[in-house]
Amino acid sequence: DYKDSFECNSENDDQLNETSVDLYLHPVLHITNLLPIDIQCLFDNVEQVDIKPRQLNEIAFGDKYSTLIFMIPSYHKIKWISESIDLKVEQNCHYNERFIIFHDSTSSNPKQTLNMILRVDTLHESYRLFLYSPFWIINRTELQLELQIENNRTFIEMTEIPLLFCLENFESEPNKKTQGQLRLYDIDNENNTTIWSEKFSLDITKSTSMVSCKVPNDRICVDFLTSSFGLTKIITFSPSIVIINKSTVELEVVETISDTEQDKWKSINPK
């Protein structure tokens, strides 16, 4: 809470001899879920709140000395629970952001983790908390892909919910340029795994580019978009060419390079 004060007139008197005080009371904690999934937050192991995507919650029963635990009820069919977060610990100088580690609550495998960032801003003595992931990754290629960002690797399957990705050393070199590489990956047969593509920059606001995984017919379009709240970059992988048959008959198509067919003929039904 905070206060503003100013002098005012007494009734039927032109002299400024009294002070009027306006008090504004605000909840100490504000939490916003900047993920595309539902989350829960447990305060001091007592009170729990459910928070929808993009939802702001004003918390009246917590304070700046609370201990928080975040939970994700379902992400990739797994229930995740974060390590305990002590708000009274001194803030990091890098944008007041903390690295949050989630663990699979149903598994004893310590390597099964999910990383997020908790941003803590101070405004009028209250804390504004934002839970977010630096990257949302969407695969629209119908291919099994593996992405490498600064030696952090992750598999990307086709799912409705974006893959949430966060570098383990997100605060080590804040001014370092971030680059990624992509390759086709066959989980069932590693012999079909291709070599890495050339590196492409992730430090852009809005762009569309093309990457190649060094095998025929693998050109993939990469689209970059910064989220409306500015903390997340959305990366979408999609086919470089999409063919839609709007005729009334079935068609067949094949790609050729220098009059050489690159693959088998494929049928395209009318749409």
Where does the pLDDT of residue 188 fall: very low under 50, low under 70, confident under 90, or very high at 90 and above?
low
Q: Which stretch of 76-85, 180-189, 197-206, 215-224 has the lowest confidence by average pLDDT?
A: 215-224
Distances (CA, A) of 49 to 44, 46, 59, 136, 247: 12, 10, 9, 24, 53
Distance (Å, rounded) from C-alpha 137 to C-alpha 180? 12
pLDDT at residue 30 greater than cutoff 80: yes
Which residue did the predictor score with more confidence, 48 or 61? 48
Q: Where are the domains of the chain?
A: 29-132, 135-239, 242-271
Distance (Å, rounded) from C-alpha 92 to C-alpha 119? 10
DSSP one-letter code for 140: -
Largest CA distance in the chain: 97
pLDDT given at position 26: 65
pLDDT digits (tens, 9 = 90+) for 110-166: 678 999 999 988 877 778 899 999 999 999 888 888 899 888 888 888 888 899 999
pLDDT digits (tens, 9 = 90+) for 195-254: 888 888 887 766 666 666 655 556 788 888 888 888 899 999 888 778 889 999 999 988
Residue 191 DSSP SS3: helix
